[in-house]
Amino acid sequence: DTEVTQTPKHLVMGMTNKKSLKCEQHMGHRAMYWYKQKAKKPPELMFVYSYEKLSINESVPSRFSPECPNSSLLNLHLHALQPEDSALYLCASSQAGTGGLSGANVLTFGAGSRLTVL
Amino acid sequence: GQQLNQSPQSMFIQEGEDVSMNCTSSSIFNTWLWYKQEPGEGPVLLIALYKAGELTSNGRLTAQFGITRKDSFLNISASIPSDVGIYFCAGLRNTGKLIFGQGTTLQVKP
């Protein structure tokens, strides 16, 4: 299995809702990532988990809460979001975490979850 | 913050033409990656470059890791309509953090 699977593919939520995005990989990768991508822009790093521990938080607002239940799963909990948070949220994984060998840090991306906040 | 300058920003070419795009940086990278993203999908890795001067091919795609470690280019030969998408370069620092270029949008006219 060489895929990163993200669910749901599309999500529409109000500003008072609580929802979660889910990500799963079975490649034995030990690092997992959340990225946010606006239309026609490059992905922007949000969080990195390395060996199931949060290693990077790119000053993301607390209305986004990541969780890594085990080495294969990564969640992003969403609460009290704003319309400007509407974007494509990408999950990725790599063999190694930050500071690892170059080849081991090559990221494999999922197809993304398209989030619309009303 | 760290930036990669990717050019051109967009290209509109005729099917069968060759395409060239590049990325430059003021800083050194250990690895250069080229990704392609199609609408509604995540970025897909095309080519990974690990050594300065390395020239790597993947079918009609050829990419090079610049000798100075501050630049990379991607060539696509004999373009076809399914080459349409956004191409991103990305540089990997020794911290493990991936820095993306701004992307090159490619459109191919049949």
| Residue A30, SS3 per DSSP | coil
Burial of B26 from C-beta contacts in 10 A (0-12 / 13-18 / 19+)? exposed
| Contact assignment for B42 to A100 by CB distance below 8 Å | no
Q: How far A29 CA lies from chain B's nearest CA (Å)?
A: 14
Q: Backbone phi, then psi, for B95, in 5-degree steps?
A: -80, -10
A99:B96 CB<8 A? yes
State the average pLDDT over residues B53-66: 96
Query: What is the per-residue pLDDT across B66-98, written as a single tens digit (0 to 9) for each?
Result: 999 999 999 999 999 999 999 999 998 777 788
Chain CA centroid to CA A91, Å: 4
Q: How far is A81 from chain B (nearest CA, A)?
A: 22
Quote the tokens at residue A67. 């969780």
Range with the largest mean pLDDT of A47-51, B49-53, B60-64: B60-64
Per-residue pLDDT tens for B26-49? Answer: 999 989 999 999 998 999 999 999
Q: Does A27 touch chain B (CB under 8 A)?
A: no
Per CB-CB distance under 8 Å, the chain B contacts of A48 are 96
Contact between A115 and A17 under an 8 Å Cβ cutoff? The reply is no
What pLDDT was estimated at residue B92?
A: 86
How far is CA B64 from each of CA A60, B42, B68, B89, rounded to the nearest angstrom? 34, 23, 11, 11
